[in-house]
Amino acid sequence: MILHDLEVSVDERLKAAAQGGDIDKLYTLIREDPHVLDRIDETPFVDTPMHVAASFGKTEFAMETMQLKPSFARKLNQEGFTPLHLALLKKQTLMVYSLIFADSELIRVHGKEGKTPLHYAAEQGNVYLLKTFLQRCPSSIEDVTNHEDTALQIAVKNKKFDAFCLLVLRLRTAVDKGSEIREYKTLNWQNNVFDTALHIAVKTHQPEVVRVLIDNHVDLNIKNSESLTPLEILESDDSQSQSQVNNPEAREAIKERLRRARASKFLSFFRWKSSKCYLPPTVNLLERWYIDITRGKNGLAEESRNMLLVGLVLIATVGYQCVLSPPGGVWQADRNNSTTTHDNKSSSEIHHPGTVVMGNWSFLFFMLFNSLALALTTHAICFLVMKPESSWWYFNRSLLITFGPLCYLISLQTISPNNTLFARIIVIPTLVYILLPIAHARIRANLRYKTRNWPMSPSSTHGVAT
């Protein structure tokens, strides 16, 4: 009995210490009862001191407790919440950031109804937390609830347009390994009644959401548990309730857009005056090119990458060798070079020793394509070998642009029959060689700006209901 009273007393004092954020009191209680935290941890579902501290925003106390008992961070209380869930629901933003920076995998812990912290952020429409969650744990966007809903579907259900657009933008611009599969899978994911995000948007009459989904090439022909496509849902509703239709303008706009999209997947015309003051940024053709090649690089297995590097090095070697030993050879100093026949024409032009034997037009096209191939191959090797974020990427690229081309151009100028022909050859390859890495860096910077700075509206923190 005395031991029980002592345990109750210690537990109550521990709870009070957590509410006040008193770390010294925590260690005083541990000295009194070294097994106090172990005894709490043995209970399957309980409000641990970390739960209490998270609810009251006592960040230092929660982090100290997490260090002593890491299992507390993943333990569910009687309501089915982890400390991160509670911090998010209680709007303790500093606590949320501290926890996810300490352990990003906490974002993927499922609580009540199978919801993760990412699901609650999508439900609330908190785009700033969504950004941080997806930066820290990109794969969390694939997690589903007990109803098989993704964060994308939850945002659509709760009409959080900004949160929905942010999730779509992240899916479209992610370049980490597996992001291409994740994009298609999440955009077309079906929940427990086989509804996709497009089905939900159609049922809840959200034309802006339908527009964004169609512009991002979702599958329009997926059927739900009632064997209905999104367009068939609208047509079925019309036939069942002709007398009373909710939001007829939005319904007609959605129906027209779906019909036009089925007729032409490249059609972007949309007759609907959006209630939104702005729409999410689109991904243009060059940015799509950057995303695709970066996904391809990140998705390469180590063996495939090594084989590709070997092939590229061989192509670069052949390209440079073509300047050192051009086809047909070069004119020699010990031969009579005053009269020869080339390009099917007779000529008495004097040919200088060391210049190419092949005709001018043949030399022009051969060396033009060879120089382009060498420029692209060199950048492809750098792209595969070096990390774009590394300062060495910029340093070595500068050296390559400065010294590598100079050696190649000096060799090419030496064997060219005349300077005019040489100038015609080098213009396009030189522009490609210089502008390609600049364009790559600029496109990457633009994409980062889009994903980090959209949306700009302060109302985005709470989401915008349609």
pLDDT one-digit tens code per residue, 288-326 = 888 888 888 888 888 988 999 999 999 989 988 888 888
Q: What is the Cα–Cα distance from 437 to 443, expressed in whole angstroms?
A: 10
Which pLDDT band holds residue 405 (cuts at 50, 70, 90)?
Answer: confident
Instruction: Identify the burial level of 68 via C-beta atoms within 10 angstroms of its C-beta, where 0-12 means exposed, 13-18 middle and 19 or more buried.
Output: middle
**Residue 189 and residue 323 in one domain:** no
**Residue 308 and residue 178 in one domain:** no
Mention every residue, 6+ apart, whose C-beta is less than 8 A from residue 391: none
Containing structural domain, residue 390? 295-331+354-453
Tell me: the pLDDT tens digits for 179-195? 889 999 999 999 999 99
Average of pLDDT values for 444-450? 82
**Residue 70 and residue 205 in one domain:** yes
Establish if 115 belongs to a structural domain: yes
Instruction: Identify the burial level of 339 via C-beta atoms within 10 angstroms of its C-beta, where 0-12 means exposed, 13-18 middle and 19 or more buried.
Output: exposed
**Residue 133 and residue 20 in one domain:** yes
Among 201, 219, 237, the domain-final residue is 219
Which pLDDT band holds residue 126 (cuts at 50, 70, 90)?
Answer: very high
Which pLDDT band holds residue 337 (cuts at 50, 70, 90)?
Answer: low
pLDDT above 70: percentage of residues in the chain:
83
Neighbours of 146 (CB within 10 A): 11
Q: Which two tokens stand for residue 359?
A: 């005709």
Lowest mean pLDDT among 2-16, 164-178, 396-410: 2-16
**Residue 183 and residue 304 in one domain:** no
Q: What is the Cα–Cα distance from 76 to 83, expressed in whole angstroms?
A: 8
Establish if 89 belongs to a structural domain: yes
Q: What is the Cα–Cα distance from 451 to 429, expressed in whole angstroms?
A: 33
Tell me: the pLDDT tens digits for 57-116? 999 999 999 999 999 999 999 999 999 999 999 999 999 999 999 999 999 999 999 999
Q: Give 5 or 411, the one with higher predicted confidence.
A: 411
Strands (E), 252-386: 340-342, 345-347
**Residue 433 and residue 304 in one domain:** yes
Q: What is the pLDDT of residue 328?
A: 81
Among 188, 219, 250, the domain-final residue is 219
**Residue 300 and residue 212 in one domain:** no
Establish if 238 belongs to a structural domain: no
**Residue 66 and residue 213 in one domain:** yes
Mention every residue, 6+ apart, whose C-beta is less than 8 A from residue 41: 48, 69, 71, 72, 75
Q: Give 188 or 420, the one with higher predicted confidence.
A: 188
**What does the radius of gyration of the chain's CA atoms come to, in whole angstroms?**
32
Which pLDDT band holds residue 335 (cuts at 50, 70, 90)?
Answer: low
Q: What is the pLDDT of residue 339?
A: 43
Q: What is the pLDDT of residue 332?
A: 80
Q: What is the pLDDT of residue 447?
A: 84
Residue in the structure block whose two tokens are 């997690």: 143
**Residue 27 and residue 176 in one domain:** yes
DSSP state of 330: B
pTM for this model (two decimals): 0.77
**Residue 208 and residue 317 in one domain:** no
**Residue 190 and residue 300 in one domain:** no
Establish if 337 belongs to a structural domain: no
- CATH code of the domain in which 104 resides: 1.25.40.20
Establish if 231 belongs to a structural domain: no
Establish if 152 belongs to a structural domain: yes
Q: What is the pLDDT of residue 378?
A: 84
Among 219, 252, 287, the domain-final residue is 219
Establish if 211 belongs to a structural domain: yes
Mention every residue, 6+ apart, whose C-beta is less than 8 A from residue 146: 113, 114
Establish if 274 belongs to a structural domain: no
Nearest 5°: phi and psi at 346? -85, 145
Q: How many structural domains are present in the chain?
A: 2
**Residue 317 and residue 201 in one domain:** no
Mention every residue, 6+ apart, whose C-beta is less than 8 A from residue 257: 207, 210, 211, 214, 270, 271, 272
Q: Which two tokens stand for residue 274?
A: 């959006």
